[in-house]
Structure formats: structure tokens, C-alpha cells
Structure 1
Amino acid sequence: MKRQLMTAAAALALTLSAQPAALAYQDVAGDDALRTAIAADYETHLEDLYQHFHANPELSFREVETAARLASELRTLGFEVTEGVGQTGIVAVMENGDGPTLMLRADMDGLPVPEQTGLDYASQVTGTDLRGVENPVMHACAHDTHMTALVGAARQLVERTDEWSGTLVLIGQPAEELGEGAVAMIEDGLFERFPLPDFNVSFHTFSAIPTGTITYVPGFAMANVDSVDIHVQGRGGHGAYPHTTKDPIYLASQIVVSLQSLVSREVSPLEPAVVTVGAFNAGTKHNIISDGAHLQLTVRSYTDEVREQLLTGIQRIAANQAASYGLTPEEYPRVEIEETYTPALFNNPDLAARAVETMRGRFGAEAVVEASPVMGGEDFSRYHRTEHNIPTFMFWVGGTTQATLDDYTARGLVPPSNHSPFFAPDDPEGSITQATEAMAAVALDILAPSGSE
């Protein structure tokens, strides 16, 4: 579950810097047929679907019923749907003449969090994770809105097949919260068994952004995320006779302090980097010097070069601190770097510019705001980290009304964040309909028939 804890922290860290007041973006496009249709569809179908997803969350790689419902929704619309891709993922394909192939992604998994929102449709579900541990489960990261908006966009695009030409590939991805779902789908042949996308697009609902606002980051938007364990060895003994021991707590402390030099003195100050020791575990009693200590690190970067510099530096520091303390090479700390990591999310600048132009045309320039990159992680990044180098774009949709944000500010409080047991969009209709419209509009632009304006 280390990956789950890591991505939870990543979501909490996604405090995008641009957070303007919510706007009446509905006024920008006027009496628009797409917007009107989405609003009507929310009342007759999407609201119930959202509440169903919210009330029935499932944990990572356990999204069996969730995937089945999403598959059914898309199959009913005429998509050719394949289930069980990357364990519990689904892939839905619709070919509609010649043109580009566009992949739209929604993640499906919930979190081991006991819901405390007080909603009428709050989750009462418990689930068993991959370790066999049973936990309460809720959609604390708004993946329920992602699936609902994907279905909403699909429903509009099916009604408008005369307005686009090409191929739609819609995926329901498992295990985003573990950082493992995207790679599972890729390894199961996502880009070989199904049409290869020319573009990948996704979004995320975020609590700190006002409803009615969309934020985006061109280029690097989120970080490489690595989990590292350092197992420090020592020679234990009596706390009254430290000279007869090699104290692993002392050694681990020296390693913790030295690790800070990687960012402050080795990585260029122009390159983002983070090395955080999130856990330090050692010892059992006041007067016993243990024979081991365990450090758990999260390591963040953007470029592959800085990532390698940090990981190599951690190994070097651990070994050299042990050597300076007089340990033998056989006693040097064991550094374990998790093989599965979350690569940096890079939003293709050209695709971002195109999508932003489309969204601003619908919602207004003040409602679609460029934000700052952050050091959180998101495994949507995996889809452009293959040999195909597919242009990818993720944007963020507001999840809390401006009135609610203002109320918390007036009381000197911080509103519930993603992954909080108290978080759910307080205006789900506003979040879902805007996301649906944005996804559908971007798809209609990318798949516009040749020669159309």
C-alpha cells in the first residue's frame, strides 16, 4: 500500500496556484445546443449514474462491479467494449470514418477512507484490499465524477456522429491510487490490441479549484514519484555502553541529514526536486540500541536525468555514511527502490494549446486558467511514456463552489481536500456538466472532419 499512500499525498499536494472566483461560464456560449443537451442529460441520466458510482466505490484492482456498469453504459451507446484489460480495466472503441484516433480516460478506483460527507447517497461500502485488509471505501478523490463525465461526453458524441470523423477509444482505468493501473493496461496490450491513439486526454476534479473554473499546465505538470526504502544495519547492544555498538539510529540520522544536500547542493536550483523522509522506524526500548533502522522516502523530480541523479545520490550517501561510521561493506544499508514508479506528467504544449483554445471558446478566457506545476504524481503520465510518444493532455476541473471556499476562508479554515473523508463536490452538477462539455468539445475539435471549421 505504499504506492497508495504516496499518491494520496500527491493529490493533497495539488494546490494549483491559479484559483480565481467561479464564473458564470454558461453565459459565454449562450444558448448552446451541446450545453443544453448536457444539462438535460444530467437531470435524466447522469445524476443517477454519479450517485450510483459514489455510493458503490471499489478499491484498486477490485473495480469489478464499477467496470461492469461503465462497460454497460458504453456498450449500450454502440461502443465495442472489452473488459478485463489490465485486470479490471475496460476499453470501448467506436470507429466513425477516417480521421485521428482519440483516447479519453477515466479512472475508476475508490480509496480506503470512511465517508463522512453526510450525503444521502454516501458510501456505506467496505472492501478488501490487495493485502487482504478490510476497510471502509469511498470516492474521496472524485473518480466517480470522472466516470460520469466520460459517459456524458460519450453520450453527446454518439448523438453527433455527423460532426466528427475518426476513432474514439474510451478507457476505464483501474488502480490509479496505487499508481499501477495505467501500466497494467499498457502491459496488457492497450496500444497493440486496440486502435493506437494519436492523442490522449483526461481530466481530474480537484477540491481547491472553484466550480466553474478549469486549470491546466503546459509541459511538465506533475512529477516523477519514487518510493525508496533504506534498511540501515547496525550492531545492537546496551544503551549504557554505546561504544560497544554501531548505533543504527545514529547512522540513519546522519543519512537523513545528508540526504538534504542532494536538493540543496547537488541538483541545479533551476530543476525541481524533492527528497522527503516520511518515516523513521527503529528500536523497541529506552535502554536498548537496536541492530537496525528503516527509513521510507518519497523522491520527486521532473526530468529523467534529475530522477537518476537523486536515486544514485541516495545510494551513495547511504553507503558512504556507513563507511565513515566504520561498518564493513557487508553491513552497508540496503537501499530498495520500488520498481513501479509514477513518471512525470508532461502535457504536450501543442495539444494543450489546442484544447485550451477550444475550452476558452466555450467557457471564456477567465474560466480557463494556466496554473503552476506541482510535485504530486498521476499515472496518466504512463500513456505518453511508451515507444509511441503519444501527445497527452490532462486538465483540472473545479470541485468546490466559490461560496463554500469563501465560507471556509472567513472562518479561518481550509476546505476538505481530495482524499479527505469529508470531500465530495458540493455542486456535482456544475463539476460534471463542465467536465462533460469540455471533454466533448475537445473531442469534437480533434476529430473535426477534414475541411471543417
Structure 2
Amino acid sequence: MNSLSVGPPARSPHAGAGPIPRPQAVAGDLVALRRRLHRIPEVGLHLPLTQAAILDELAGLPLEISTGKGLSSITAVLRGAGAGPTVLLRADMDGLPVAELAPVAFASTNGAMHACGHDLHLAALVGALRILSDRRSAFDGTVVAMFQPGEEGHDGARAMLDEGVLAAAGRPVASYGIHVFSHLDSGVFSCRAGVMMGSILNLELRFRGRGGHAARPADARNPILAASLAVQAVQGWVTQSSSPSDPVVATVGAFLAGDAPNVIPDDAILRLSIRAVTSERAGQVEEGVVGVARSVAAGYGIEVDVDRGVHLPPTRSDAAESERVRRVVTALFGADRFRELARPEMIAEDFSYVLDETGGAFVFVGAGGATPDRESNHSPRAEFDDGPLLDAARMLAALAESRLADG
């Protein structure tokens, strides 16, 4: 990582005085920051506009800041009053290649979209750093803020691990992250011990046929036909091979084939994701899906090549840290603001790599609007309520202080 600046941990006259009386005054206008970020979404590992915006927001805080070499990451280190353990807080930075259709005044117009709410994650982590900076004489130890690009299928967490984020200030004893959801009630926090989010395995299946004239299909081998039948066969096989106690999801997200109505192409491509509660189960489902696709294709004289993509482990929260989340949320906002997650979500997260290394917890934050017909994350019409931003920042700061107090 490239070092930008080193600021000594100056003492704050307000730190150590107990709960912050006016957290908004410390954290600033997080809604304005979130909407600024929402207008400039970037995709992948290289996010220069987003990185510059976050660095601008962190300027003036007593942080040791470094940036990534192979990606637009930011690592910010905040040191407390004395020696102690290290805790990591993380926010993902990237958007999705989705053209925004949400009817909001601050919508993106560049063809990408923060359709998964990462703009809220960024604003909440900036707010948490401001709160902790104001209170740094009240705790011993160190907080590392991990601003991570490339969560949406680009292996950004692994890249930051490879560049040494866990060695920025001593190995963390715990890590914490949040994820907002547009379909959950606004302002509600959820966690559970064990698996929070599933394992994901991405596949690309290339059906290799033989091109020809659309008027003479007998002289060709149409990969579109075989791929179409494989889509249905795969979905049917998954339905028959899973149970509610062992949930499995396989979704075809892309079907690429052909350029003209009168031409049979040589190839057709399916891109799909497989999701399960364990990495082992995802691997078993991969074998079944590939076997079904090849069996269908073989009946039409077509071969299938397999390109295996990202394979993420499940995202797990430690039992003790899940309980810490419940205690912190209840103390800050009341018991009605915490709901234990009943079952794992089959959405995946590369923060799982970090949690597997350090332990910790992942927290869901409801950001659904007032309308009953809420679009889900990744929809071009998804809307996120930014009302819970300050509370999310306060929770992250409180989690860090609570864990540091344990020594």
C-alpha cells in the first residue's frame, strides 16, 4: 500500500466524556456524503472518483492513511490513547454495471449504479471514524478502516488482504462490517451466530455448436437451442436436489448468443451463480449443474466448456460477536431495533475472507423505504432510505469501542 499521510493521535477535549451528546455534530452530514457518492458510482477495482471523494472526507482527521497499489483501496489507521488490540471496520466502495431507474433527485447518470447500497456503507464508515476520532482518548488500542473496491465479483477483499491490510496496525482481534438492504424495514439491525450469507460459485458455460444459415438448421448445430434447454434443466435439477433445510440457489444471469436473426452462431454462453450454505455444498451443486448441462448438450451433438469464476466462502459471525451486536444495538437504540436473523441469506460477500482470518460479525441494516413494493438490491429501481446512516455509524463506532474494551 502507498502511504499518504501520518497524523499523530492528538487528544480531543470531548473524548472520554461518555456517550457523545450530539453525534450528528461530530459525524457531520452523512446523508449529503451518501448522495454525493451515489451520483458517481464506479465498477470494479479502480475507482478514482470514489477514492478521491473518501480521501477528501477523511482529510483533517488524526488518521494514518495509505492507498492500494493494484486497486483504489484506502486503509485508515486511528490510534487510541494507549496500547491495546486492533479492531477492523470495513466498507465496500464499488457500484454495479446497472443503469439507474430509481426516481431520486441524486440518481446516477453514468450507466453504473450503487444498486447494492455501498454508498451507504461508505458514508457510515466515514461517520464512525469521525465519532471515534472525537473519542480517541477514551479507548486504548487501534481501529483500522478498510475501504474496499471490487466487492461485486472482482475479489477486492482478497486483493487488500494480499496487499497487507491486516498488517496495517497489528493483526485485528475482530472485524465488523455492515450491509444495507432495500427490502428490510428501515433502521432495523440484524445478526445471527454462524452463517449469515452463503457461499457463491460463479460459472460460465460455453456451448460449442456449428454455425450456419437460419434457413438450413439441419446443416448446423444450434447452440442456442441446447443452451435454452439447459437453462430449464439446470433449474429443475436444482429444485429437485435441495431441501428447505439445505438451501441451494442457481441463477442464470446472462445468456449471450448470436448477432443476427438469419445466422446460427457457433457458440452460446450461459453465466450463472450457484449459492449454498457451505463451500462444499456449492462445489457439489457445480458438479451436478455441469453434468446436467453437458447431458442436455450431448443430445444435440454440442460440447460444453466450463470456466470457473469467483468462489467465495460463506460469511460467518462469531457467536460472541453476534451477541455483542445485539447488546450494542439494544443499548444505543432499544431492543425493538434488533432482530435476530432467522436463516442465512443466499447473497454472498467477500468480507467472508476477512472474517475467516480475524473473526468478528457482519450486520444487516434495514434501509427500505415507506412504500410496500420495495425493489431488492441490484434492481435498477432500488431505493435506499438514508435515514439510518447516523445510527449505522454510531453502531460501528460502538462495536469497535466495545471490543477494544475487552482487551
Which bracket does the TM-score occupy, shorter chain normalised? 0.7 to 0.9
RMSD across aligned positions (CA): 3.1
In the other structure, the counterpart of 2:368 is 400
**Given residue 303 of structure 2, which amino acid in structure 1 is its aligned partner?**
Y
Q: Is the 8 A contact 1:267 1:306 kept in 2?
A: no
Candidates 360, 371, 374, aligned match of 1:415: 374
Q: 1:55 to 1:316 in 2, by over 3 A?
A: closer
Q: Which runs of 5+ in 1 are unaligned?
A: 1-31, 127-134
Give how far 1:172 is off: 1.0
Q: Does 1:108 align with 2:99?
A: no
The Cα of 1:301 is off from its aligned counterpart by: 1.4
Give the structure-1-normalised TM-score.
0.75
Q: Comparing 189-198 with 235-244, which one deviates more in the overlay?
A: 235-244
Give the match for residue 61 of structure 2.
77
Distance 1:286 1:140, change over 3 A: closer
Shift of 1:200: 0.9
**C-alpha spacing 1:251/1:159, structure 2 compared with 1 (3 Å):** closer
State whether residues 277 and 344 of structure 2, in contact with CA within 8 Å, keep that contact through their aligned partners in structure 1. no
What secondary structure, in the 3-state scheme, does the structure 2 residue paired with 1:336 have?
strand
Task: Tell me if 1:306 matches 2:288.
Answer: no
TM-aligned CA distance change 1:72 to 1:263, over 3 Å: same
Is the CA contact 1:85–1:91 (under 8 Å) kept in the aligned structure 2? no
Which structure 2 residues correspond to residues 116-155 of structure 1 after superposition, within 5 A? 116-119=102-105, 122-123=106-107, 126=110, 135=111, 137-155=112-130
Alignment partner of 2:68: what SS?
Answer: strand
- The Cα shift of 1:326 comes to 7.6
Question: Corresponding residue for 1:379?
Answer: 350
Q: Residues of 1 paired with 2:182 and 2:37: CA distance?
A: 18
TM-score (norm 2): 0.83
1:99 aligns with 2:70: no
1:332 positional shift:
2.7
2:305 to 334, 342, 364: 334
Q: 1:76 to 1:217 in 2, by over 3 A?
A: same
- Which of the residues 36, 39, 58 maps onto 2:24? 39
Cα distance in 2 for residues equivalent to 1:444 and 1:276: 40
- Rounded to whole Å, the distance in 1 between the matches of 2:197 and 2:383 is 23
Q: 1:221 aligns with which of 193, 196, 205?
A: 196
Aligned to 2:395: 438
Aligned mates of 1:176, 1:86 — CA distance in 2: 15
Gaps of 5+ in 2: 1-16
Amino acid of the residue matched to residue 148 of structure 1? A
Q: CA deviation at 1:117?
A: 3.5
Q: Structure 1 residues 265-274 or 241-250, which shifts more?
A: 241-250
1:66 aligns with 2:50: yes
2-structure distance, mates of 1:376, 1:202: 15
Q: Is the 8 A contact 1:207 1:399 kept in 2?
A: yes
Alignment counterpart, residue 349 of structure 1, candidates 311, 316, 319? 319
Structure 2 CA distance for partners of 1:421 and 1:286, relative to 1, 3 Å: closer
Structure 1 residues 229 and 54: CA distance shift in structure 2, 3 A? closer
Deviation at 1:167, TM superposition (A): 1.5
Identity level (%)? 34
Asked whether the equivalents of residues 103 and 171 of structure 1 are also in contact (C-alpha less than 8 Å), the reply is: yes
CA distance in 1, matches of 2:234, 2:326: 40
360-369 or 187-196, larger mean C-alpha shift: 187-196
Decide whether the 8 Å contact of 2:85 with 2:404 is kept in 1.
yes
Contact 1:59 1:110 in 2 (8 A): yes
In structure 2, what residue type is equivalent to 1:353? Answer: E
With over 3 angstroms needed to count, the CA separation of the structure-2 counterparts of 1:281 and 1:425, relative to structure 1, is closer
3-state SS of 1:341 partner: strand
**Which residue identity lines up with residue 144 of structure 1 in the other structure?**
D
Q: 1:257 to 1:198 in 2, by over 3 A?
A: same
Matched, 1:90 2:84: no
d(CA) in 1 for partners of 2:384, 2:202: 30
Aligned equivalents of 1:142 and 1:282: distance in 2?
32
Residue 368 (structure 1) shift: 0.4
Q: What code does the residue aligned with 1:215 have?
A: S
> Does the CA-based 8 Å contact 1:103-1:169 persist in structure 2?
yes
Q: Which amino acid aligns with 1:92?
A: A
